[in-house]
């Protein structure tokens, strides 16, 4: 027996479930296939931008998102960068999204991805047009001129179901079955780095960091790491933390002194208890197309990068907000023949810019700084350069994804879609419409 829907979504993580809600609220019938019955307890994808929180407003679950916040109200969700060690005297505020808060209708948020997923799963369960198969995975995919057939298999491989949709969307992660089955290739930028992800508990670290009030994540720059980060993040306010940093090739969970790595990064010993040790290769990947016929990809299936700056989950949500209304337009008969092609034309250049202008660029700039300045050699020169590093808060102020130059934007000029731009209260072709300007500008 074949079960038929308007759209099949393979992968029900935050991006896939966001797309399901986007479509389901528009009356589009959707089946989501998700292999994990429960969200995975790894505290990634925490830094949600103001724009992402606007999406949760549209999806009818912003209040639930904020209620799921594990940090107490008023604890602060800002970031900071330090030199040498976390307890160094050299530090500045970093990735402070409050700089651009007036240009959005919602405040930013910070919570682990598994908490975000629970909010989205609960909202999806309220929408009649959405069906979800938890504990199932894609096994075979075929498409023809009228639709896509996806065969899914349960966890132990004893049962199969056939799904049919006018379109299918792969939101199934960086090792996407959907992408491979559709024949979509990738381009990768290898950084030749093995990374460790550590999840641990430490009340003592919480006590040590009370000297930095209002901070929830911390980036430690050290010359030995050549511009790559040692990054700490709070999961809650007191005990739980995550950390990622480069480690030598050949490192395993059993043969490396991860406790010593943390102590060196902080600048002193402290008591801790590990909950998870994982390893991954640092690379930037982008699919060479986000579409193959009636199959689309979004989120990490379309693009992946190291967790530098919190761009990943936010970029995935932007993908599905872009794709959702276009699929609806096509299925309802009011979208033009080339509307669906604009998904790739708009979203791929934005990710390419994100990777180039906000991830790889900052790795290179940090390396140049560390190669040039050293307080042990010239304290005065170092302090002057350090003080000027983040005066313009470029990692926030210049991050303004836009579709200037899109093939479906009228009078777009000669620009092309990009993640880099400027925030403004003026209405501009291809840019997000902001709230009314505080300076009285209503143009």
Per-residue pLDDT of 240-287, as tens digits, reads 999 999 999 999 999 999 999 999 999 999 999 999 999 999 999 999
CA dihedral 207, 208, 214, 220 (to 10 degrees): -150
- 385: Cβ contacts below 8 Å, ≥ 6 apart: 369, 372, 373
Nearest by Cα to 260 from 268, 248, 250, 251? 268
CA 438 to CA 425: how far, in whole Å?
A: 8
Q: What would the two tokens of residue 218 be?
A: 């911390």
User: What pTM was estimated for this model as a whole?
Assistant: 0.95
Phi, psi at residue 210, to the nearest 5°?
Answer: -65, -15
As a whole-number percent, the residues of the chain with pLDDT over 70 amount to 98
pLDDT in tens, 215-242: 999 999 999 999 999 999 999 887 999 9
Kind and range of the H or E run holding 163:
strand 160-170
The C-alpha atoms of residue 351 and residue 419 are separated, in whole angstroms, by: 7
Q: Top-level CATH class of 2-70+112-185+288-335?
A: alpha beta
Please give the helix or strand (H or E) that residue 319 lies within, else none. helix 311-332
Express each pLDDT in 366-381 by its tens digit: 999 999 999 999 999 9
CA 415 – CA 402 distance, rounded (Å): 10
| Residues 289-311, mean pLDDT to the nearest whole number | 94
Q: Which of 415, 252, 257 is nearest to 349 (CA)?
A: 415
Average pLDDT across the chain, whole number: 94
């Amino acid at each position: 027996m074949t079960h038929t829907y308007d759209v099949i979504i393979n992968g029900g993580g935050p991006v896939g479930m966001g797309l399901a809600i986007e479509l389901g609220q528009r009356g589009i019938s959707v089946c989501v296939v998700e292999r994990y019955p429960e969200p995975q307890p790894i505290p990634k994808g925490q830094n949600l931008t103001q724009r992402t929180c606007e999406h949760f407003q549209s999806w009818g679950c912003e209040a639930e998102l904020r209620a799921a916040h594990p940090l107490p109200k008023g604890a602060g969700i800002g970031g900071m960068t330090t030199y040498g060690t976390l307890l160094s005297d050299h530090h500045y505020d970093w990735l402070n999204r409050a700089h651009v808060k007036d240009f959005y209708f919602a405040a930013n948020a910070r919570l682990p991805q598994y908490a975000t997923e629970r909010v989205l799963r609960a909202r999806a369960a309220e929408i009649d047009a959405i069906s979800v198969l938890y504990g199932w995975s894609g096994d075979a995919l075929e498409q023809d001129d009228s639709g896509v057939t996806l065969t899914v298999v349960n966890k132990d491989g004893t049962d199969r179901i056939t799904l049919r949709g006018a379109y299918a969307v792969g939101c199934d992660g960086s090792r996407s079955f959907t992408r491979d089955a559709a024949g979509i290739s990738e381009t990768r930028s290898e950084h030749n780095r093995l990374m460790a992800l550590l999840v641990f508990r430490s009340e003592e670290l919480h006590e040590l960091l009370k000297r930095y009030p209002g901070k929830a994540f911390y980036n430690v720059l050290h010359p030995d790491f050549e511009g790559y980060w040692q990054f700490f993040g709070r999961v809650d306010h007191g005990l739980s933390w995550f950390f990622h940093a480069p480690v030598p090739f050949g490192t395993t969970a059993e043969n490396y002194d991860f406790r010593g790595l943390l102590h060196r990064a902080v600048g002193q010993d402290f008591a801790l208890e590990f909950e998870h040790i994982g390893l991954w290769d640092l690379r930037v990947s982008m699919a060479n197309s986000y579409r193959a016929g009636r199959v689309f990809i979004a989120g990490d299936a379309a693009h992946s990068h190291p967790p530098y700056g919190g761009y990943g989950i936010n970029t995935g949500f932007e993908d599905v907000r872009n794709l959702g209304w276009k699929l609806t337009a096509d299925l309802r008969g009011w979208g033009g023949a080339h509307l669906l092609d604009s998904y790739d034309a708009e979203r791929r250049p934005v990710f390419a810019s994100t990777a180039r202008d906000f991830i790889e660029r900052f790795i290179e700039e940090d390396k140049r700084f560390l190669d040039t300045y050293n307080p042990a050699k010239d304290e005065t020169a170092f302090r002057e350069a350090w003080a000027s590093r983040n005066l313009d808060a470029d990692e926030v102020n210049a991050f303004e994804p836009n579709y200037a130059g899109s093939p479906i934007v009228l009078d777009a000029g000669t620009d092309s879609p990009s993640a880099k731009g400027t925030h403004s209260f003026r209405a501009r072709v291809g840019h997000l419409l902001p709230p009314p300007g505080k300076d009285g500008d209503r143009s």
